[in-house]
Structure 1
């Protein structure tokens, strides 16, 4: 006799997704280790930044591959594989520090760990949307918040404690982090699974049926239409969404990659005699506090997008950050500077909460994992451009690094704000989709996006 499949509590799945994201999100505490690596190993800012850039680059590329293959492999296998590679990357990084090998550090922390994070990152986002069709914006915001809070956990709890217990030995610190974070990540990944076919949460069935009865022929046809993946990827609409996402990430990740040393520079302007350990403490504190805003911004901006639409929310992010970066260029008060940076990080996190729902809204939930996975290659590109841009400026113009970095981000966000008005332009919707719309075999997703 065939037993019906036992459906797990969807909130337990959501918690596992969030914990997994929290472990993987510790990568955003990179600037905690950046000055320590420069000081102890005599590597330049640009040299060490390549490790972080490679990590984010491999993260986005592996997330894209994982998103395309998620349905075939399954969320549990993909996430567990990601957790194992994540831990292995830290182990290789520890070995690299022991033998003082920068290329091996690139391989471990940059490539292997980055691939692991990417495989792990894409899985919770797509899984939780399937479990919560009634709360997409809220739950993607909560799960994305976990990734944003990872830097807080590492910079406030794990890293300082391990640095004290292990007498500042970075080799042992990286090995311990790999063991601790890897174990928690793998255990959380093992709890991930898709809901049964046709699953709808209790109380949502009636609403879904009512909505189906009121749908027009184009909306109902959307559930059946499914063009080849390349038709969506090569469309102007998708390219513009990718570009807008890339620019928002570039502005935020350029700050994240050098947050601690940049903040220490601000303190030195008015307090040149401060001890290095005190300055490092200030830098670590800002990493922790800004990571909270990174996490909370994902919930807050995700909720805002439910009310005013995904594109309108992106425009608010871009417009307000233009003003904030303008203020940051001349602000020398460390407290005001910190507050402005926290706002930028909330906008950075907000983009990651909005984009999954935006992709699902525009292209449909059944295509979400593939299309969202590929759009994460914007994260890869931004992870190279943003940090290396700031590293080059800091090495070349140490006294003007803050002003030049923020000026470039103003340019980046200005371009993003302009391009956001092209996303819903029907000229960029795939032609085959438009043909099917007017033929009555697919919905007018361009117009849906415009309403959003």
Structure 2
């Protein structure tokens, strides 16, 4: 058994890395501010977040497959620096009102950094805790879900207030904070000695037949739809809530922004908690059954939101959807491992994460298009699209085979 104190220290460092990376989930805090300040459309602004999540999904896929080759500490350090530089480049983009530079900085550079750094904490914690897999990996991924709370209730408000609502200076300050702390935490993410040796000698297995199998394609699609549903809110929950509050007569901008930030923080708690709740439930209910249940719950929520303009009901709906969004990320690793075995786990899970990238483009862009073209009905129309996709996802769960292969 590994040194208990050392492995728990590494688990804490892994959680802190995910906590800082998860700040990307607070994008909706900035969406409205950036749109109004620089006069870009909702769709133009939302592409910043979409590109970041797309690059996150694709790079995390590559990182998961190549982690044994390049080493955990190296990927984590490079990713941490790149994510920090994404904010610093964004300072120059916003200062010069350059949307392409914002796409490059926050979207491409920051997104690649997210992907490289994302895969390491879970992999490292899993190897250090063979006896407490669920507890420790759940703790680490919950850190990512809670990142939005850190950004929306601490970093962004503090710096915006200090710099008198200057978005460029706020992004620069956040980037500097990231550059100081993220590499510090990431530097401790190393595998146990025996794992370093084992990874080098792992047998190579051809995964292509499984990747292009009907079963995996169905898993990928239903995961994509679950991501899209969550991204609709992660990218726009604050603006959508503010629209409802304005329709109800609230006009004070500071109050609107405060309520939006509070919802981001609260939903972040549910996002993180969902990875525990649904992941644990899947041990008893089965992976596909659990995925089907969480999609059914989401469908009921979106159906209800279509018929209400109540801000409180909307907020509750957001929290439930993000609870299930986090749950999808909690169930997918176990589903993939059971379906394709330990030898194919890294490759198949890496490919599954490309669904995150695709969903990260489609979810925000669906809502951005609705806000640019349908005004007050943007939310309702977005919920209708989400409901259709989730219903298709539910149908697909009945065609996925989950025959356990643990070798």
TM interval, short-chain normalised: over 0.9
Instruction: Give, in whole Å, the separation in 2 of the partners of 1:184 and 1:235.
Output: 42
Instruction: Give, in whole Å, the separation in 1 of the partners of 2:170 and 2:203.
Output: 51
Q: What is the CA deviation profile of residues 213-238 of structure 1, one whole-angstrom value per residue up to 9, with x for unaligned ones?
A: xxxxxxxxxxx986313233222222
Note if contact 1:137-1:357 (Cα within 8 Å) is conserved in structure 2. Answer: no
Which 4+ stretches in 1 moved above 6 angstroms?
Answer: 5-8
Q: 1:266 pairs with 232, 236, 244, which one?
A: 244
Alignment of 1:447 with 2:394, yes or no, is no
Alignment of 1:134 with 2:134, yes or no, is no
Q: What is the CA deviation profile of residues 224-261 of structure 1, one whole-angstrom value per residue up to 9, with x for unaligned ones?
A: 98631323322222222211111100011111111111
Equivalence for 2:74: 77
Q: 1:423 pairs with 383, 386, 400, which one?
A: 400
Q: 1:192–1:366: structure 2 CA closer, same or farther, 3 Å change rule?
A: farther
Note if contact 1:329-1:407 (Cα within 8 Å) is conserved in structure 2. Answer: yes
Note if contact 1:248-1:318 (Cα within 8 Å) is conserved in structure 2. Answer: yes
User: Over aligned residue pairs, what C-alpha RMSD do you find?
Assistant: 1.9
Alignment of 1:195 with 2:151, yes or no, is no
Q: What is the CA deviation profile of residues 256-283 of structure 1, one whole-angstrom value per residue up to 9, with x for unaligned ones?
A: 1111110011112222x52122111111
Equivalence for 1:354: 331
Alignment of 1:170 with 2:167, yes or no, is yes
Equivalence for 1:245: 223
Matches within 5 A, 1:34-433: 34-197=31-194, 227-271=205-249, 273-424=250-401
Note if contact 1:131-1:194 (Cα within 8 Å) is conserved in structure 2. Answer: yes
Q: What is the CA deviation profile of residues 17-66 of structure 1, one whole-angstrom value per residue up to 9, with x for unaligned ones?
A: 11111100000100101111111111110110110000001111111111
Shift of 1:369: 2.5
Shift of 1:198: 6.6
Q: What is the CA deviation profile of residues 345-404 of structure 1, one whole-angstrom value per residue up to 9, with x for unaligned ones?
A: 110111111112222222233432322122111011001111011100110101211111
Note if contact 1:29-1:152 (Cα within 8 Å) is conserved in structure 2. Answer: yes
Q: Which segments of 5 or more consecutive residues in structure 1 lack a partner in the other structure?
A: 200-223, 425-445
Note if contact 1:140-1:356 (Cα within 8 Å) is conserved in structure 2. Answer: no
| Aligned-partner SS, 2:150 | helix
TM-score (norm 1): 0.85
Instruction: Give, in whole Å, the separation in 2 of the partners of 1:129 and 1:237.
Output: 26
Q: What is the CA deviation profile of residues 128-160 of structure 1, one whole-angstrom value per residue up to 9, with x for unaligned ones?
A: 222223333333222111111000000001111
Note if contact 1:92-1:108 (Cα within 8 Å) is conserved in structure 2. Answer: yes
Q: Which segments of 5 or more consecutive residues in structure 2 lack a partner in the other structure?
A: 197-201
TM-score (norm 2): 0.94
Note if contact 2:338-2:403 (Cα within 8 Å) is conserved in structure 1. Answer: no
Note if contact 1:7-1:195 (Cα within 8 Å) is conserved in structure 2. Answer: no
Equivalence for 2:24: 27
Q: What is the CA deviation profile of residues 404-438 of structure 1, one whole-angstrom value per residue up to 9, with x for unaligned ones?
A: 110111101101111112220xxxxxxxxxxxxxx
Note if contact 1:249-1:348 (Cα within 8 Å) is conserved in structure 2. Answer: yes
Instruction: Give, in whole Å, the separation in 2 of the partners of 1:413 and 1:119.
Output: 29
Equivalence for 1:210: none
Note if contact 1:125-1:356 (Cα within 8 Å) is conserved in structure 2. Answer: no
Shift of 1:341: 1.1
Instruction: Give, in whole Å, the separation in 2 of the partners of 1:78 and 1:225.
Output: 22
Instruction: Give, in whole Å, the separation in 2 of the partners of 1:225 and 1:78.
Output: 22
Note if contact 1:291-1:345 (Cα within 8 Å) is conserved in structure 2. Answer: yes
Instruction: Give, in whole Å, the separation in 2 of the partners of 1:180 and 1:231.
Output: 44
Shift of 1:88: 0.9
Please identify, of 346-355 and 229-238, the stretch whose mean Cα deviation from structure 2 is larger: 229-238
